[in-house]
Amino acid sequence: MSHPSPDLLLSFAIGRADLPHRVMLEAHLAGCAACRAAVAETTVPAAALLRGLPQDRLPGALWDRLRQRIEDEGPRGAPEPPALAGLPLPAAARAELPPEVLRRPSLHWRWGFTRGARMAVMARDPATHSILLIAHMPPRRVVPRHLHLGPEDVAVLTGGYEDDRGHYEAGEYAAYEPGTSHEPVTEAGAPCWTLTRLEKPNRFFGWPGLLVRLLS
Amino acid sequence: MDSGFHTISPHAVRHSPAAGPFDVYSPYVRESMRLAQAPEAGGSDSAVLLHRIAGGDIEAFQAFYQLHAGRVLAYARQLGRRADLAEDVVQEVFVAVWRKAASFRADRGDPLGWLYTITRNKLVDLWRKAGETSGLDEVQWQQLPDGESSGSDRGDLLLTVHQALTRVPAEQRAAIEMAYFGGLTYEETAERLRLPVGTLKSRIRSGLRSLRAVLEGR
């Protein structure tokens, strides 16, 4: 089982993880008791601090404004936003997405990096210049070898893939350092859905890479 | 597979989770989980309220707000450089509570730890939007009031955080005060302490283990 690093879990717990990391970590935490435990341990002193604080007086209008915002959200169980319909995104990860993403009529899918595969940018974090991608790949497909110009994190939502370093199943989390390269191959059986965080675009190689660049 | 490129191991962490989820929790977190599973009479426990909020119960949401919003407001006022935005932070925090309540599980630990993470996220977002790198330094953090455990819903918390921190090694304490409780980024904290960022993070994690042990009376 491959997990986020302890440093990343610490950043998440103290509010220093950016938007793509938050979405991906919520997706991982939904299925990983060990990492939920790690986050729980990390926030013990924080909870103690918050519990020890005296209550500041709350302006009455604050609750009224909050209640209006909640009512504007619509009832629980409302149909999922069209852009996210059919995506295997855990509810906790979905809840991290900003409203502007949820309001989109659809995601802008790009095809062609491998046969039958598609990917779309879900969100961007302007502070860290990172992007969050969701990708769907049919079974037994090869993603052309590419170089990571910046860090790349991958959370596997369904299916799995194998690369030079190992095998990653649904629920696992992999992080690749800048300067590394790999050629993932999706496993047989179920389609592979992933969330990916990038700070810089990947560089693809060879004829398949040229095709990817042209289609991008 | 020979691409001509040097490949380096991914930075993924591989470890085997313990045999069962309960094996990996401290006594404090286990107690939080027990409270969540066996709520006090009247169902006022925060974890139970979150469960009801997840189901769309607006009364439970109001109860959770009344229990904790004043603390979040106090925290936001102290941490934010612009006190006039503190109410906006509270609003954003509780909108997130409404949206994310279903993701809270008993084994995420103390509901207030979960609420702290949301609050910090909203504060950091606010600082970034305002073009500020941080809001609070370690000196301001030390001015935060630190009440006794009496009146809280956990009678086993005997030390305040400020008291507990005095028992943590000084170099770990400084790192925690600046980057964990305070508003400095890792980079700002590392610069002040003249440490590599990686060493700083390691020091914070060691310090948190020490602090937890003190808070738990171990």
- A to B CB pairs, distance under 8 Å: 265
Most confident of A50-54, A95-99, A190-194, A206-210: A190-194
Q: Cβ–Cβ of B12/A55 closer than 8 Å?
A: no
Which chain A residues are within 8 Å of B147, Cβ to Cβ? Answer: 52-54
- Which of A14, A26, A91 comes nearest B120 by C-beta? A14
Distance between CA atoms of residues B115 and B93, nearest Å: 8
Mind listing the pLDDT tens digit for each residue in B40-50? Answer: 333 348 999 99
Q: Cβ–Cβ of A44/B115 closer than 8 Å?
A: no
Q: How far is B70 from chain A (nearest CA, A)?
A: 4
Q: How far is A165 from chain B (nearest CA, A)?
A: 7
ipTM score assigned to the predicted complex: 0.90
Outline where DSSP puts E strands in chain A. 2-3, 110-111, 118-125, 130-137, 146-148, 152-158, 160-163, 166-169, 173-176, 181-182, 185-186, 192-198, 202-204
Tally of CA atoms within 13 A in the half-sphere of B187 that contains its CB:
3
Closest CA to A182 of B9, B132, B140: B9
Best of B23, B116, B189 to substitute, by most chain A Cβ atoms within 10 angstroms, is B116
DSSP 8-state secondary structure symbol assigned to residue A181: E
Kind and range of the H or E run holding B14: strand B13-14
Q: Mean pLDDT throughout A62-72? A: 93
- Which of A43, A52, A176 comes nearest B109 by C-beta? A43
Structural tokens at position B199: 């060493």
Residue at A31: amino acid letter? G
- CB A145, CB A180: distance < 8 Å: no
Give me the pLDDT at residue A173, please. 98
Q: How far is B82 from chain A (nearest CA, A)?
A: 16
Which chain A residues are within 8 Å of B178, Cβ to Cβ? Answer: none
DSSP 8-state secondary structure symbol assigned to residue A184: -
Mind listing the pLDDT tens digit for each residue in A5-36? Answer: 999 999 999 999 999 999 999 999 999 999 99
Q: Which residues of chain B, if any, have pLDDT below 70?
A: 1-44, 80-81, 83, 131-159, 218
How distant, in Å, are the alpha carbons of A45, A159, B120 from that of B213? 10, 40, 23
Mind listing the pLDDT tens digit for each residue in B45-75? Answer: 899 999 999 999 999 999 999 999 999 998 8
Mind listing the pLDDT tens digit for each residue in A197-215? Answer: 999 988 888 776 666 666 6
Closest CA to A45 of B45, B94, B207, B155: B207
Q: How far is A74 from chain B (nearest CA, A)?
A: 10
The string of DSSP codes covering A120-131 is: EEEEEETTTTEE
Tally of CA atoms within 13 A in the half-sphere of A148 that contains its CB:
25
